Chains A and B, each alone.
Chain A
Amino acid sequence: MSRLSDHNVILAKEIIARYPKQKSALIPLVHLSQEQNGYVTEDAMRHIADMIDVTPAEVYGTASFYEMFRFEPTGKYLINVCGTLSCSLMGADSLMHHAEQTLGIKAGATTDDGLITLQHAECQAACTEAPTLQVNYRHRYRVTHESFDQLVDDLRSGALDTEIPPHGTLGRNRQQIPADRAVAVQAPEDVTTGPAWIQVSPA
């Protein structure tokens, strides 16, 4: 059962309706499926293809370009250790080595209990707080060996459950466009005149 659930189909339809062309919803829908299943499954991609009227290959073609989409089972927590210049200058290599030792896995692998996947990552836009890592894309700053061990303990004990949702969940809230406030979305080819507030001088 890895097609989108009924609840997510309703969300997906709302998302599709926001775009003038439905293929634009491809990446948000793949995110939605990853939120549901923890990773992107073939069934989900077929389902998404149906919903936005493209081929499953097009969905995979786009999704496989982006790093956040994972096509195999992933730990509940994805730890990305940044290794770009500023973090590297402040000890990212040593942190990564420590992480591998602590978790008993190499970067790229998942712990045996399926809880944590460890990865090398590129710049996470927190360069002044180096070295940094992200757990399910939530930042941890100025990470020391001790604070890394604490983080792993907290993840294992569930102490961070409210702050860090399982892998795949991007935001703990969603954008909602109220129907009575929304402007009708039109396909670009159906629009022939300028917007109401622009005075177009006669040609």
Chain B
Amino acid sequence: MTVESRVVSPYPWAPGFYPGDRPEIVTSRFQYEDGHTLDRYLATGGYEGLRAALAESPSDVHEVVKNSTLLGRGGAGFPAGVKWGFTPQGVWPRYLVVNGDESEPGTYKDRLLMECDPHQLIEGSLIASYAAGLSQGFLYIRGEMALAHERVAQALNDAYAAGYIGKNILGTDFSIDIVLHWGAGAYVVGEETALIESLEGERGMPRLKPPFFPAAVGLYGMPTIVNNVETLSNLPFIAREGSEAYTAIGTPTSPGTRMIAVSGHVKRPGVYEIVNGSTTFRDLIFGDDFAQGIRDGNELKAFVPGGGSAPWFLPDQLDIPFEGPAAGAAGSMLGSGAVMVMDSTTDIPAAALTLVQFYAHESCGKCVPCREGGTWLYRIVERIVAGHGTDADLETIFEVGQTICPGEMPHASSERLGLDAVPFPYKMTTICFVGPSAYAPIHSALTLFPEEFEALVTKRADRRPIPVTAEVPA
């Protein structure tokens, strides 16, 4: 199998991670096998960001984070400092919920951050809580990540014992409990309001918003900051080095670095910490420092630029930089930082089927267009791939898509098909993005590679009635 011939990460304890000659903000301790221990953390500048933050007033720390323009890494890319500012004045208590329910197809960064550097996440959570006045934190980790649970539990125990969490942290007035919470397997819980429902002991179904976002009405109806693991992991650096050191990396609108997983048909699939904004998809897929090109000398056919929910890109879009607005104008999104690469051998309908299946399976069932639409998309695509589809099925896919995402669905431009790009975002009839996510991959596949579907389906005119040969008994 080709599996054996692929390059293996230089750090066996951080599977998939490849360092490079690039700034390391969140992955600086991945080089150490014991990077998850308190000893190593303290020996490499650990908890210095917290000390620096505690020496300043909470509002000053908040100001530093605002000035750093740290963008949320969960998918929406909203500035974290601005999000914290949405908490209403004078309403207490406020809570922190750390979103470690990473499960977007292709995405693979929070798990490494929790496994290889859990103290960095804890320190980031403490800095956020200090700045925004949050009095209890909940670290919600996806249930399927057993090793991350063990590492974070150990780190929390050590940090409590050493006086970094709990009452009067480092001898100051700052006190907070951080509770490790086990998820139990549900993709939709990555959506912040569903995460809060789940943390309250309910079925993980998203809440309707607006009007109330979690920053105003969240956990137990109180103001709640929900931040992604990677977002919080950036805070120790910002608190230690200052916002200018952070904005010096990347572009003004997308500063700092991002962790990107490049998987699929590439020579060196891996997780890379890249400079935000300036790195292009061509660098990521073909760069020597990154995925090193397509395996077996094949051609690139298409790639998913931002996790399973993102509309697909073609080789035409390789020179787009890894920056939200640029990807949006080209008809897709960066999402959670996951590039999945398909080479010329890929059976496009079968590839799309795996994603449609994922989202149909993960629909929570709250919104009808997603629950019914997603399921029907799956059934239809499955029968097309099995060779039982008709050309009417292709029209039905677009019809079902219209009930989930009315109007034009974003897609990339294609020189080969003479298509112009339809920019992001789309309209949607569901509360959260699971519904549109079920439609995005099949819409992309069908729009960009129509001939592969047409080759699979039977034309209506070709269908013949089943001949009746036996006598019908009287």
Contact = CB atoms under 8 A, between A and B. Distances in A.
A4 interface: no
Given A65-B186, A170-B146, A176-B157, A181 B163 contact: yes
B184 interface: yes
A85 B351 contact: yes
Given A86-B340, A142-B6, A194-B92, A24 B269 contact: no
A57 to B, nearest CB: 12
A67 B144 CA distance: 10
Nearest to A27: B184
Contact of B203 (A62, A170, A196, A203): A62
Contact of A127 (B106, B175, B357): B106
Contacts of B104: 123
A188 B166 contact: no
Contact of B358 (A23, A65, A122, A131): A122
Contact of A30 (B176, B184, B346): B184
B201 A27 contact: yes
B149 A90 contact: no
A138 B151 CA distance: 13
Interface in B214-234: 220-222
Interface stretch (B25-33, B130-138, B392-400, B458-466): B130-138
A89 B340 contact: yes
B177 A18 contact: yes
Contact of B1 (A23, A136, A144, A181): A144
Given A141-B15, A197-B173, A181 B144 contact: no
Interface stretch (B260-268, B281-289, B372-380, B402-410): B260-268
B150 interface: yes
Interface residues of A, number: 78
Contacts of A84: 105, 308, 354-355, 358
B136 to A, nearest CB: 7
Interface string B338-354: 10101000100011001
B433 interface: no
B105 A86 contact: yes
A167 to B, nearest CB: 11
B144 A134 contact: yes
A62 B214 CA distance: 21
A144 to B, nearest CB: 5
Nearest to A181: B166
B179 A18 contact: yes
Contacts of A142: 3-4, 6
Interface in B300-327: 304, 308
B15 A126 contact: yes
Interface in A163-203: 170-178, 180-183, 185-186, 188, 191-200, 203
A195 B15 contact: no
Nearest to A165: B146
Interface in B77-120: 90, 92-93, 102-108, 110-111
B271 A128 contact: yes
Contacts of B108: 125-128
B165 interface: yes
A86 to B, nearest CB: 4
Nearest to B91: A194
**Is chain A's binding surface mostly helix, strand, loop or mixed?**
loop
Contacts of B185: 66-69
Interface string A59-82: 001110111110000000000100
Contacts of B329: none
A24 B200 contact: yes
Given A31-B184, A84-B355, A91 B150 contact: no
A38 interface: no
A31 B182 contact: yes
Contact of B150 (A18, A83, A172): A172
A144 B4 contact: yes
B269 A127 contact: yes
B428 interface: no
B354 A66 contact: no
B74 interface: no
Nearest to A194: B92
Nearest to A169: B146
Contacts of A197: 58, 130, 133, 172-175
B3 A66 contact: no
B66 interface: no
Nearest to A83: B354
Contacts of A28: 181-182
A175 B185 CA distance: 20
A28 B346 CA distance: 41
Contacts of B308: 84-85, 123
B269 A130 contact: yes
B44 interface: no
B204 interface: yes
B23 interface: no
B264 A86 contact: yes
Interface in B151-167: 153-154, 156-157, 160-161, 163, 165-167
Contacts of A171: 146, 149-150, 153
25 contacts: A26-B201, A27-B183, A27-B198, A61-B203, A84-B105, A84-B354, A84-B355, A85-B304, A86-B269, A89-B346, A123-B106, A123-B358, A125-B111, A128-B15, A130-B269, A142-B3, A173-B150, A177-B160, A183-B176, A183-B177, A188-B221, A195-B93, A195-B133, A197-B172, A199-B58
Given A27-B201, A91-B1, 12 more contacts: A24-B201, A62-B203, A68-B143, A86-B263, A126-B108, A128-B16, A128-B262, A173-B154, A177-B160, A178-B161, A181-B166, A183-B135
Q: What 9 pairs across the A-B complex have the smallest Cβ distances? A: A181-B166, A66-B184, A26-B201, A67-B185, A23-B201, A127-B263, A128-B269, A68-B185, A65-B203
Interface of B: 1-4, 6, 15-16, 57-58, 90, 92-93, 102-108, 110-111, 130, 133-136, 142-147, 149-150, 153-154, 156-157, 160-161, 163, 165-167, 172-177, 179-187, 198-204, 220-222, 261-265, 269-271, 304, 308, 338, 340, 342, 346, 350-351, 354-355, 357-358, 361-362, 364
